[in-house]
Amino acid sequence: RAEALERERLARDPRAASAWVRLGLVLARQQRWGEAREAVLRGQALDPKTALPPGFLEDSKPESLVDIS
């Protein structure tokens, strides 16, 4: 459900950086690490001020994507 919501938002506005980041977090929770990283980095590329998960770029471990409050 969460993935579908973010994909709907992106269908309406593919330049919505925060929606890309949220999609990445949803994908990470599904352990779809490659897709998650792509989505989050795409969001950051669209808006460098977009908040990334703590340690996302520094830590290559997928676990860094999962435990986000």
* Burial 37-56, CB ≥16 within 10 A → b, else e: bebbbbbbebeeebebbeeb
Burial degree of 58 (CB within 10 A; 0-12, 13-18, 19+)? exposed
Digit-coded pLDDT (tens) for 14-32: 999 999 999 999 999 999 9
Angle, helices 17-29 vs 33-46, to 10°: value is 170
Global pTM value: 0.78
Residue 35 pLDDT exceeds 50: yes
- Report the chain's terminal Cα–Cα distance, integer Å: 19
Give the model's confidence band at 7: pLDDT under 50 very low, under 70 low, under 90 confident, else very high.
Answer: very high
